[in-house]
């Protein structure tokens, strides 16, 4: 397998994760978590979203969070869904914008209250807001590997949307596996189709670990030459507008895998595991991340502390 040297990780836990929590997480706590992620060397953070505070009340403090965090370290990305969100994000001067729309009609309606073509028709207005302040815009295609309401999503639909985004001047596109329906062959097929249609359009992958094969999907993506992945600290996550959505693939488990494969991320895994444990305390429950509990494969145990089995 011909692997890349460096992989770029985007942390999405404070957006994809915190949006799904029942209790409102205080603004100060969000700021502390984002800064701790920056200090651990995470290069890009989708820190929150400028969507309707009525739709996603957990992230209503997105402006205050941006004003409170350190700037100039990680690239701080805000998710948006419409022109009003782009206007707010541009005014707030986040570093990059990600516009979400779904590949399937029914999830797009549930998530952003309009059809796919209506979302696509709004892209020029979004680009105009971002261009005024020089902020790059990426796309995020949710339900790219399947939809909880419609089942299989045709690869051609993903390609059609990506083609539209590239023509509109987007800097790249992420494929979102909103409810963990991706499989390695599906990832390979989709990445190849996108590469064939749009060879110069950067692609990132956003997997959820709903069925336990999130990191296998990452391997399939790496084999296709993908070098950008999204994940969430501790494995937090879940879309409130998709039934059965569970956590994203876990950032520290992903970093562990990549480092063990000899790939660089620029992230300090020990510091990252500390952040994961902090986030567990913040949300008040055990998270699915495994490396933060087990340590690395060479985390040795004290011989004397373990009983010897005697018959």
Interface with Zn ion by CB under 5 A: which residues? 16
User: Is 141 or 272 the residue whose CB approaches ligand COA more closely?
Assistant: 141
Which residues, 6 or more positions from 277, have their beta carbon under 8 angstroms from its beta carbon?
292
Whether 59 and 48 have beta carbons less than 8 Å apart is answered as yes
Stretch that binds ligand COA, among 109-117, 247-255, 257-265, 283-291 (CB under 6 A): 109-117
Stretch that binds ligand COA, among 33-41, 76-84, 245-253, 259-267 (CB under 6 A): 76-84
239 is a catalytic site residue: yes
| Cα–Cα dist 133/156, whole Å | 33
Inter-CA distances, 298 with 167, 288, 301, Å: 48, 21, 9
Given 10, 38, 48, 49, the residue binding ligand COA (CB under 6 A): 49
| Cα–Cα dist 294/277, whole Å | 12
| Residue 107 interacts with, from ligand COA, Zn ion, none (CB under 5-8 Å by kind) | none
Q: How far is the CB of 13 from ligand COA (least distance, A)?
A: 13
| Residue 280 interacts with, from Zn ion, ligand COA, none (CB under 5-8 Å by kind) | none
Catalytic residue among 94, 147, 191, 239: 239
| Local structure of residue 76 (DSSP, 8 states) | E
Cross-strand bridge partners of residue 79: 49, 98
Q: Which ranges constitute the DSSP H helices of 93-136? A: 105-112, 116-121, 123-133
Q: Which residues are identified as catalytic?
A: 239
- Report the interface residues with ligand COA, using CB under 6 A: 19, 49-53, 55-56, 81-82, 84-85, 88, 100, 111-113, 142, 239, 241
């Amino acid at each position: 397998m011909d692997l890349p040297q460096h992989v770029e990780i985007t942390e999405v836990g404070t957006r994809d994760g915190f949006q799904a929590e029942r209790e409102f997480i205080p603004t100060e706590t969000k700021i502390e978590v984002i800064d701790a992620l920056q200090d651990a060397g995470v290069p890009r953070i989708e820190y929150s979203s400028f969507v309707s505070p009525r739709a996603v009340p957990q992230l209503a403090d997105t402006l205050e969070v941006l004003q409170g965090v350190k700037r100039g370290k990680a690239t701080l990305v805000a998710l948006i869904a419409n022109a009003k969100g782009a206007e707010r994000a541009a005014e707030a001067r986040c570093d990059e914008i990600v516009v979400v729309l779904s590949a399937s009609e029914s999830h797009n309606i549930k998530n952003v209250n309009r059809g796919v073509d209506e979302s696509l028709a709004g892209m020029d207005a979004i680009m105009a807001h971002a261009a005024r302040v020089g902020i790059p815009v990426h796309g995020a295609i949710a339900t790219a590997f399947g939809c909880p309401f419609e089942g299989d999503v045709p690869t051609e639909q993903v390609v059609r949307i990506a083609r539209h985004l590239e023509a509109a001047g987007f800097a790249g596109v992420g494929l979102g596996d909103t409810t963990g329906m991706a499989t390695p062959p599906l990832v390979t097929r989709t990445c190849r189709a996108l590469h064939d249609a749009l060879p110069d359009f950067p692609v990132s992958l956003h997997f959820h670990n709903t069925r336990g094969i999130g990191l296998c999907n990452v391997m399939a993506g790496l084999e296709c030459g993908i070098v950008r992945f999204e994940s969430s600290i501790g494995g937090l996550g879940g879309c409130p507008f998709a039934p059965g959505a569970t956590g994203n693939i876990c950032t520290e488990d992903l970093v562990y895998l990549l480092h063990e494969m000899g790939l660089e991320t620029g992230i300090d895994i020990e510091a990252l595991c500390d952040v994961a444990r902090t986030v567990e305390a913040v949300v008040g429950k055990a998270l699915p991340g495994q490396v933060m509990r087990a340590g690395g494969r060479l985390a040795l145990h004290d011989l004397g502390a373990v009983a010897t089995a005697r018959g």
